[in-house]
Amino acid sequence: MHTQNIIIQVQKTFSALDCTGGGVIIKKRGQTILEEYFGVHGQQKKAKKVGPHTLFHLASVRKTYVGFAVAYAIYHNYIASIDDRLSDYLGHTSIFGSVTIRHLVTHTHGLRWQNEKIMKEFIAGSNWAYRDVNVDILAQVIFNTTGKTIAEIVNEEVFQALSFTETNWFGEKIENLIEVDHKNHPFWYESEVCDGSKMNMYSSLSELASWGQVLLDKGQVNGKQVIPIEIIQLLTTIQSQNSKPKHLPTNGVFWFVQPQVIEGVTELSPLLPEGSFQLLGYTSVALLVIPTENIVAVRGFNSFGSPQGFDYIQDIHEFGSMVYQSIR
């Protein structure tokens, strides 16, 4: 195994992002074979060093937990089917039309925020676009059907079940939260709302890797089925409909999933085998699972957005390729 090559690749990204702190964890067959941290929490002169208990801002990687809440609601029949229309749960609003839960979780819904109103961008199922309006809508659907927020479901069904204490939505600063270098980016915001609908989720890299391992192991921990296998399968297998143009990304419940035939460009390196799945956040935090090789890979940084000239797709491809080639 050439784990040093992975460290070099991650540190290359660390330098390119011009951030202050980062880290990487690789698991193979459930064993941690690489765990490395570098840098400090922020720009202050006495900023603490990044370490195992540093909590990284997950950005869009939080959608693994938003997706869990959706899959939980479907598994327990609060939502009858992934193909139910939004109008079944939110009223017959004309803007929703034929949009389904499946469209929302595969980014094919065709909706977007514009001037604080939901607008139609394209006909559902005909295209693919990454818009956070789907999380806002799903948060309302989940609450209307279960009577619980996304955060309440995830806390009860995941964090408590797995004894996670370093992953959650945070409405205020605590000591272990890394400072996010957002450079006044227009997409950056902070929120005191901790219901699971906002972008204020943080996690240690070790717990993020542990969650990846639970997904890889189909919900089993030490031989015990902690998370129903049906929920895991729904999350991490392809849910994109056949009507979607083949060159556009393929998703499970939010997860980018490697199809049998690779067409077009997506987050996943084309070297990765079929069934691999990954999420990438705007902080360049990533969680990659390669089931065929029993690999879980996590990396974390504290820079929000990308500097001019940084190709985030090329970078995440290089990370996936390096992990796969170094420890397969």
3-state secondary structure of 5: helix
Query: How much is the pLDDT for 239?
Result: 98
3-state secondary structure of 69: helix
| Average pLDDT, integer, range 93-121 | 93
Round to whole Å and give the CA distance between 301 and 18. 10
Query: How much is the pLDDT for 189?
Result: 86
With tokens 């089993």, the residue in question is 220
For every residue of 226-284, DSSP letters joined together read: -S-HHHHHHHHS----TTS-TTS--BSSSSEE--SS--S--SS-TTSPTT-EEEE-TT-
Whole-prediction pTM value? 0.97
| Average pLDDT, integer, range 161-181 | 96
CA atoms within 13 A on the CB side of 81: 5
Query: How much is the pLDDT for 328?
Result: 83
Q: Residue 93 pLDDT > 80, yes or no? A: no
Q: Residue 91 pLDDT > 90, yes or no? A: no
For every residue of 92-109, DSSP letters joined together read: --TTTTT-BHHHHHTT-S
| Average pLDDT, integer, range 223-228 | 97
Round to whole Å and give the CA distance between 323 and 328. 8
Helix and strand counts by DSSP (H, E) for the chain: 10, 13
For every residue of 47-64, DSSP letters joined together read: PPBP-TTPEEE-GGGGHH
| Average pLDDT, integer, range 262-269 | 94
Distance in angstroms between the alpha carbons of the first and the last residue of the chain? 8
Q: Residue 188 pLDDT > 90, yes or no? A: no
Q: How far is CA 270 from CA 55, 124, 145, in A?
A: 30, 27, 38
Query: How much is the pLDDT for 244?
Result: 83
Q: 201 versus 242: which is more confidently predicted?
A: 201
Q: How confident is the model at residue 187 (pLDDT cuts 50, 70, 90)?
A: confident
Query: How much is the pLDDT for 184?
Result: 79
pLDDT in tens, 277-323: 999 999 999 999 999 999 999 999 999 998 999 999 999 999 999 99
Q: How confident is the model at residue 147 (pLDDT cuts 50, 70, 90)?
A: very high
Question: How much is the mean pLDDT over the chain?
Answer: 95
Round to whole Å and give the CA distance between 149 and 141. 10
Strand ranges (DSSP E) for the chain?
21-28, 31-39, 55-57, 111-114, 117-120, 167-169, 201-204, 220-221, 224-225, 256-257, 277-280, 286-290, 295-301
| Average pLDDT, integer, range 66-76 | 98
Q: Residue 247 pLDDT > 80, yes or no? A: yes
Q: Residue 94 pLDDT > 90, yes or no? A: no
Q: How confident is the model at residue 272 (pLDDT cuts 50, 70, 90)?
A: very high
Q: Residue 186 pLDDT > 90, yes or no? A: no
pLDDT in tens, 34-59: 999 999 999 888 899 999 999 999 99
Q: Residue 1 pLDDT > 80, yes or no? A: no
For residue 263, count other CB atoms closer than 10 A to its CB: 11
Q: How confident is the model at residue 83 (pLDDT cuts 50, 70, 90)?
A: very high
For a pLDDT cut of 70, what percent of the chain falls above it?
A: 100
| Average pLDDT, integer, range 251-277 | 96
For residue 14, count other CB atoms closer than 10 A to its CB: 23
